[in-house]
Each structure stands twice: as C-alpha cells, then as structure tokens.
Amino acid sequence: MDDPKATFEKAMASLIEGKRGLGSAPADARSALVGACLLALERMLSEAIRVKSVDAFVDVLAWQLAVMGTQGGPAAIADVVGRLEWHLGNLADADGEEGGQESAGSPDSRSH
C-alpha cells in the first residue's frame, strides 16, 4: 500500500518540475505554482499538527485570505469567500460519497 503523503509529494513534484499540468492541461507556470503552493501548505500544516498549533495556522491562512481579498476590493472579497464556500462544499460532498470523488459536471464548479 502506498503512503498517501509520499504519493501527494510525488504528484506535487511532478507539477513543480513541469512533468505534468493541472488536470488534462499541459504543464505550465501556473501548474508549477499550484504544485509548489500545495506542497508548501501541506508541509506547514504537518508542522502545525506536530507542534499542536493548527488553530494558529488556520488563523494565519484566514488572515492572508482576508488581505488578498481586501487588496482587490469588493469583487475580490466575494471571489475569496465564494471559492472557500465552493471548496468546503465540494469536500463535504466528497466525504459523503463513496471513494470521495467529485460530482462530475457540477454546475457550480470553478476552474482554479
């Protein structure tokens, strides 16, 4: 059985190194950035769990999202909130489905 953490790190490395893109898209600078960000966030979360400071980590992430939203004005704030709601709903739906797969063709799906 594969180690999920090792599998995740391998997948992110393939994005960062330009060996593959997001979904069926070709590798590009955006996919490399997404891989690097996800890998960094996963490592920060692992460290927060290790030192029992997940609440502080969540607060830092929420603060940074608020900063990003307010710098872009009301439309950016709405975008940040909408994306967070979409991801939370998508993850909640995946938890309820066997195998945790996303529902195909969701009318509210967004490209990230």
pLDDT in tens, 77-94: 999 999 999 999 999 888
Q: How far apart are CA 40 and CA 46, in angstroms?
A: 10
Same domain? 70 vs 87: yes
Structural domain range at position 14: 1-52
Q: How far is CA 11 from CA 14, 36, 47, 52, 108, in A?
A: 5, 11, 20, 27, 26
- Backbone region of residue 42 per phi and psi (left: phi > 0; alpha: psi in -120 to 50; beta: other values): alpha
Same domain? 32 vs 18: yes
Residue 13 located in a structural domain: yes
Banded pLDDT at 96 (limits 50, 70, 90): confident
pLDDT of residue 11: 92
Mean pLDDT taken over the chain:
86
- Whether residue 109 is predicted with pLDDT greater than 80 in this model: the reply is no
Q: How far apart are CA 27 and CA 8, in angstroms?
A: 17
Same domain? 25 vs 71: no
Same domain? 37 vs 20: yes
Structural domain tally of the chain? 2
